[in-house]
Structure 1
Amino acid sequence: MLRRLYDWTLSLAGRKTAELWLAVIAFVESSVFLIPADVLFLPMALARPKHAYRFALIATVASVLGGIAGYMLGHYAFEAIAKPVLSFYGKLDDFEHLRQCTGEDTLMLLLVTSGLAHLPPIKIVTILAGVAEVSFLFFVISCIVARGARFLALAWALRRWGDPIRNFIERRLGLLAAMVAGIIILLYMAIKYSGLAGSVTSC
């Protein structure tokens, strides 16, 4: 199922309505869709490099709006909508673990890392932010900065290096995510042993 969903998302890049689909995918990836918008953004930017920054702007705006929608689902409709969605994708256990173990400070950090590298998955963090009632202003700003940085950096890299950088990103995405995870762990340990652990996590 996942492979078919990935291939279908990738096939949208060649359509005349690709920009619309990019906005739709970027919007729904934040709360109800499994495949990240990068899958569609990459081939679109490679095919039309002069429009890469335009595509990045479309993806950023739609992703931020989708993040706001995910926040609202978590805040107002967790049991009715958000919980069944997380359960359908097999992400409910991950969500509950973060919910029980993550304090507000760490959640704010995860809002940034999820926007930059999908770590943890964006949908989990945006919904959790709504449940935990994280500052809405901080939430929106973090979405704009992190997600905007991700898409603009990809646009810049693809315009400069083209297919080679695309192949590198696709092959090394796991490694890049692991590096970000390592940074998160180091930050967590620094906070924990500085005497601030009570404000970071309840586990």
Structure 2
Amino acid sequence: MALGKKVKKKTKQIVDSKHMLTGLTLASFLESTIVPIPLEAVMIPLMQARRDSLWLIALMATVGCVVGALFGYALGYYLFDLIGQWAINTFFSQSQFDNVKEQMQNQGFWFVMTLGIAPIPFQVAMLAAGATQFSLGLFLLATVIARSLRYFGLAVVVYYTGERAEQLIRRYRMKAVIAITVLVLLLWWLSNLFR
């Protein structure tokens, strides 16, 4: 059975579960920390089936991701000397990490926001923010904004398009991600102009 079919079958099982929100929060935590599988595969059908809880689903996904981001930040902050090389080998190359570290030191807030929206593993931003001891408050603010745009954006699409949401998101997802990423990069560039 294909992964997509398995995910849909499992989603149908949890739609009416009393543990649906807890499960979604845990899935969001895992997606932001160790399982680089897009949460949207579960969230869209769940939101369509539970439109009465649409905004709560988006909120709990955001909360799970933010808690996961705190965990990743703490790993980078406290344990990078112990696990840093393993994380670099697992998630990216040494040169990629060096580039990320430099970006974090120079433009941390905007860098975290961009990685929180773009289809790039968010673990990169979490570990780099912790390893460079970037401001926890700014890291959390960028994470909340980026992930809220992502998850509440899905909720808005489901709210207005209902059953067509999955089809529309599949069709326009990359265009939307690119447009939002370009917008964040433009704001980033403008913020540098007015320093």
TM-score w.r.t. the length of structure 2 is: 0.80
Q: Which whole-Å CA distance do the structure 1 matches of 2:72 and 2:23 have between them?
A: 19
Q: Which whole-Å CA distance do the structure 1 matches of 2:99 and 2:38 have between them?
A: 22
Kindly provide the amino acid, as one letter, of the partner of residue 59 in structure 1.
Answer: A
Kindly provide the amino acid, as one letter, of the partner of residue 14 in structure 1.
Answer: K
1:188 offset after TM fit, Å?
Answer: 6.2
1:66 offset after TM fit, Å?
Answer: 0.5
Counterpart residue number, 1:36: 38
Match runs of 1:33-112 below 5 Å: 33-81=35-83, 83-88=85-90, 90-93=91-94, 94-99=96-101, 101-112=102-113
Gaps of 5+ in 1: 197-203
Residues 37-46 or 178-187, more deviating: 178-187
Kindly provide the amino acid, as one letter, of the partner of residue 153 in structure 2.
Answer: A
* 1:28 partner SS: helix
Identical pairs, percent: 22
Contact 1:83–1:92 under 8 Å retained in 2 = no
1:155 offset after TM fit, Å?
Answer: 1.3
Contact 2:24–2:61 under 8 Å retained in 1 = yes
Residues 180 and 95 (structure 1), Cα distance of their counterparts in 2 relative to 1, 3 Å cut: farther
Q: Which whole-Å CA distance do the structure 1 matches of 2:163 and 2:106 have between them?
A: 38
Contact 1:75–1:131 under 8 Å retained in 2 = yes
1:61 offset after TM fit, Å?
Answer: 1.0
Gaps of 5+ in 2: none
1:42 offset after TM fit, Å?
Answer: 1.0
Counterpart residue number, 1:200: none
Kindly provide the amino acid, as one letter, of the partner of residue 34 in structure 2.
Answer: V
Residues 7 and 125 (structure 1), Cα distance of their counterparts in 2 relative to 1, 3 Å cut: farther
Calculate the aligned-residue CA RMSD, in Å. Answer: 2.8
Equivalenced residue count is 189
1:114 offset after TM fit, Å?
Answer: 2.7
